[in-house]
Amino acid sequence: MDIANVAELIKFLLILLIPALLVLSYYGIKNRLKLDWTSLFLFFVIVWGGFVGILRGNAFLPTISDTAAVSIAALAYVTSLQRWAAAGSFVPIMKYSATIILVAALAFVGIGYLLRFGLGYEFYFSLSDITLIITLSWGLAARKNAITFLSLACILLGGKIGVLAAAALVILTHVSLSLRARAVSVIIGAVAVIALFNGLMYWSADKDVPDDGPLASLSNKLLVLYNPYRVDLEMLDPSDLEGTPIEDIGGGRLAEVIYSLGKLARLPYHPFLLGGGSGFTYDMWYMGEFRPDTKNAHFTPVSLIGKFGIPVAVALYLVVIARILKAYSIIQKLGARTPVHQAMLYFCVANIIFSFTAYSFFNVVVFWFFLGLLANSHFWKKAKEQNAATPGYPETTSVPCAE
């Protein structure tokens, strides 16, 4: 362990910690800062990742970068959890945000198609992004058919399978709420979408990949229960997969999984239990290019395992999914239109699926802001008051607390 590195890290954390504690103490005493188990768990993840990263002697800048990413996510969640965060009207915010994103997406996709098919430029054809799901979610929740149609068109023409899979689950969630179906239908749908994505991964893979043997099961690949050459992960060299069919599967995502877990397996002291800590990186070889100190794998569960270990990674997903299912059940019990709440719920559901194709868990800050609002009881009380003014709304309907 580099003592100088640890000293610099501790100094940096203290510089951040002292003013942060002063601010939190002031607002905590004045406004009774509200926290819940999810926010406390996020604080634990910050400390855990930093502690393990220091013990493993991870590089300073990657450690700070990972710590900052989780800290910003936690800050967004805690901010939206406070009573004053739910005081304003989110309808104009969602409306104008969706419009701006849609106009930008239409222009971006149009220019992309012109460059690719009109002028013949060659580039990686991926013209859509998870932010488009905000537009689609608002279009569905607010019953804006034009916005819904144009959003779906951009997503389909954008050519990004992860965003397409997320959109499919958003539509399924919307239909389930419309039919008053139980949350289990959404879970079944999510499994179906993941299975479909797995099939598309196979379809896009090199034809030389065998139909049986080590490459037969994508689930086994992702868990690395075995790998294409049956090599010991601890002996895996960054060049071992160069030029092999496995490089083509999922645009190199499977290679990221194997290289990342291979590096993790070589660490001492129960690496899969403790993780590699914040700042964990790995080396990989992709498309003839050596990529040292790669920070994340697109497959988010593997990135979380690499940084925080299997128990924390699993707990993170369970905590988030529990919040989403709670919000789903509350919207059902409201029994009336709640477009803002529904749009936020749809986006959170989409980001869970998207996290299997891109590292979006802590990089998409709006996800944590929406999740915090969905956990804010005052946010739901506003929805009840608005719906109570709707003709035909049952006055006896009670909104369960989202805390």
- To the nearest 10 degrees (0 to 180), the angle between helices 339-354 and 183-203 is 40
Q: C-alpha distances in angstroms, 8 versus 4, 129, 155, 199, 349?
A: 6, 37, 45, 47, 39
- Confidence check: pLDDT of 286 > 70: no
Q: What is the pLDDT of residue 19?
A: 52
Residue predicted with more confidence, 308 or 399: 308
Domain locations in the chain as residue ranges: 3-81, 95-204+311-369, 219-306
Q: Mind listing the pLDDT tens digit for each residue in 34-53?
A: 788 899 899 999 989 988 98
Question: Looking at residues 227-242, what average pLDDT do you find?
Answer: 48
Specify the pTM. Answer: 0.77
The confidence score (pLDDT) of residue 393 equals 44
d(CA 130, CA 155): 9
Give the pLDDT of residue 260.
84
Residue 1 pLDDT? 44
How much is the pLDDT for 216?
Answer: 35
Band of pLDDT at residue 177, cut at 50, 70 and 90: confident
Average pLDDT, the chain: 74
In the prediction, which pLDDT does 357 show? 83
Using CA of residue 346, residue 348, residue 352, residue 354, what is the dihedral sign? Answer: positive
pLDDT score of 237? 53
Query: For residue 360, what pLDDT band results from cuts at 50, 70 and 90?
Result: confident
Residues 6 or more apart whose Cβ sits within 8 Å of residue 232:
none
pLDDT in tens, 4-28: 555 555 545 554 554 565 556 555 5
Q: What pLDDT score does 178 carry? A: 76
